[in-house]
A and B are shown apart, each in its own frame.
Chain A
Amino acid sequence: MTRRTRPSDRTDQGDRTDAELLAAHVAGDRTAFGELVVRHRDRLWAVALRTTGNREDAADGLQDGLVAAYRRAGSFRGDAAVTTWLHRVVVNACLDRLRAARVRRTEALPDDLEEYGDRGSRSSAGPDAEDPAELSVRGERRRAVLAALATLPPEQRAALVLVDMEGYSVAEAAAVLDCAVGTVKSRCSRGRARLADLLEIERTVRPGTRAGNPATAPPVPGQAGLTGSAAVPKPHEPTGGGAP
């Protein structure tokens, strides 16, 4: 398993660590927080987008969370990594919006669904993945996954986004969501079971085959034989470090 860059590590984007940037911000450095945000905003955006399921709320949730983080920075005690804390604030802001407008969340599909209709993700796109038929299959599969994900309760969705999409460990996700490890495990388990039903993934999967795919489905280049958890594709490394 690939280990993420620790958030306290210095990055090639700047000389100061996340913690140093946050401390500088609290001390009155006007540029420090912006630098911190630039370092992590892509990943925060991905989490916000997948948690809310739509672009508008993701943008609002991200902004709300970052504004709150800007103002609460002085209360950060360093118990967790800065990036974990940032994720926590942003995820909470997104969940707040989800709870406030649950109706729209269950009816709307993720805004970027259409993007997947005609292309694959960057993470796996390569020369072999440019076959239009393959792109179509992958796009349709993502569309189904995101639509199903949007039907889950916000807390389950957030746990799955962090653990299964963003690659956080259960402990890291628990720190972000400010709940017990067992709670995250439970949410993930229930969420996956629900998604398996929604996606009509077969209950019996032969070892060595790609689970849930029809026998006639074409193999996905670069992913053949992925059956175990260790084979679950890991997301891209964060640009500025992950959770501890």
Chain B
Amino acid sequence: MTRPDTEPRPDPREEEVRRRLADARHVEPVPVDVATRLDRVLAQLAEGEHLPSSVEELSVRRRRRAAGLLAAAAAVTVVGLGLGQVLPGAGSDAGSNADETAAIVDREAAERSTSVDDEVDGDAAGGAVAEDGGADGSLADGGDAPAEGDATASAAAPETSALNAFVTPQGRPVRVRSERFAADALRARDVVDGSRSGDRGAETRGNRGRGRGDQHRAQPDLAFFECTPADWGAGVAVPVLYDDEPHVLVFRAPAGDSQVADLLQCGTGEALRSTTLPAG
């Protein structure tokens, strides 16, 4: 095919990139195991079986859980849990941990959660909450929705344990940057410790010089923290925004002079990064 005279000559670099991309095209057929899985799924669909993993349902479930999470965050903002007292089983049996530690019903967070629709800084989670009717979302599929403003009832709800009782300093996720993972993880730990010691300024130290509006943006309200619960394992689970995406940072039990912090993926609990910090 000839190129029209009026068409500018292509950038040789771009052309080289295009050539290399074309050369890297995947030409293998779909793997047998993937094809088998697809066949099975399609057969299930044809039989009218319920499949929970479609894009639409995942999205709906995520939104529902986000709504549930914000309700739980409003109900149970666990503070006063020092990292020196890392409790085994902050994961699946965290509900009992909440009993052992000082669980504080954060009324302020509860008020925030019930006025989500008024927030102007709404992101996908916020929008989803509004779409799902806010507190109508259930903590788990099929679960009952917590009554609006009924923080105490929500705190006692069994679904709370399924959320693995995040340690949520001031009801807000902590920002963690990929390029400063270790330093920010350390700061996150300080924030939690600061909450324990009543140092309410600990979290804001990392945002020195920001105005009030900026600070609000820098530390988004937990009501907008969208994170599907998973088994975080033993340790203290802290909701964080890792490069602006919801994740969970889990501080494992200190071992000697060090303590491991794992960054886990929402929904799966998969460990994405890990760093070793000096024991606090």
Chain A residues with a Cβ under 8 A of chain B = 1, 30-31, 33-34, 37, 41-42, 44-46, 49-50, 55, 58-60, 62-68, 70-72, 89, 92-93, 96, 100-104, 106-107, 112, 116, 121-124, 138, 141-142, 145-146, 149, 160, 164-167, 189, 192-193, 195-196, 199, 201-203, 205, 210-212, 223, 226-236
A149 to B3, CA, bound (A): 28
Docked-complex contact A192 and B27, CB < 8 angstroms:
no
In the complex, identify which listed stretch (B18-26, B69-77, B138-146, B165-173) lies at the interface while the others stay far away: B18-26
Contacts of A30 in B (CB 8 A): 46
Looking at the assembled complex, report how far the CB atom of B84 sits from the nearest CB atom of chain A, in whole angstroms: 28
Docked-complex contact A165 and B21, CB < 8 angstroms:
yes
> 6 tightest A-B contacts by CB?
A211-B16, A205-B12, A45-B30, A164-B21, A67-B54, A46-B26
Docked-complex contact B27 and A103, CB < 8 angstroms:
no
The reply on B100 being an interface residue by CB < 8 A is no
Chain A residue at smallest Cβ distance from B58: A64
Of B26, B38, B243, which is within 8 A of A112 by CB?
B26
Docked-complex contact A103 and B18, CB < 8 angstroms:
no
B-side interface residues, number (CB < 8 Å): 53
A232 to B14, CA, bound (A): 11
Q: Mark B19-58, 1 if CB is under 8 A from A, else 0.
A: 1111111111111001101110111011000010111101
Docked-complex contact A103 and B247, CB < 8 angstroms:
yes
A70 to B212, CA, bound (A): 48
- Can you spell out 28 A-B residue pairs with CB atoms less than 8 angstroms apart? A31-B46, A34-B43, A37-B42, A41-B30, A64-B54, A68-B54, A68-B55, A89-B55, A96-B58, A102-B243, A103-B245, A123-B23, A123-B25, A123-B27, A149-B24, A164-B18, A165-B21, A192-B17, A193-B13, A195-B20, A195-B21, A201-B16, A205-B12, A205-B13, A211-B13, A226-B19, A228-B15, A231-B19
The reply on B201 being an interface residue by CB < 8 A is no
Docked-complex contact A63 and B53, CB < 8 angstroms:
yes
The reply on B1 being an interface residue by CB < 8 A is yes
Chain B residues with a Cβ under 8 A of chain A = 1-3, 10, 12-31, 34-35, 37-39, 41-43, 45-46, 51, 53-56, 58-59, 178, 242-243, 245, 247, 263, 265-267, 270, 272-273
Of B12, B23, B35, B266, which is within 8 A of A41 by CB?
B35
Looking at the assembled complex, report how far the CB atom of B210 sits from the nearest CB atom of chain A, in whole angstroms: 24
Docked-complex contact A107 and B25, CB < 8 angstroms:
no
A104 to B16, CA, bound (A): 28
Contacts of B23 in A (CB 8 A): 121, 123-124, 138, 141-142, 145, 233
Of A72, A121, A210, A228, which is within 8 A of B25 by CB?
A121
Contacts of A203 in B (CB 8 A): 13
A138 to B24, CA, bound (A): 9
Docked-complex contact B34 and A62, CB < 8 angstroms:
yes
Chain B residue at smallest Cβ distance from A227: B15
Docked-complex contact B26 and A233, CB < 8 angstroms:
no
Docked-complex contact A63 and B37, CB < 8 angstroms:
yes
Contacts of B13 in A (CB 8 A): 192-193, 196, 201-203, 205, 211-212
A34 to B39, CA, bound (A): 7
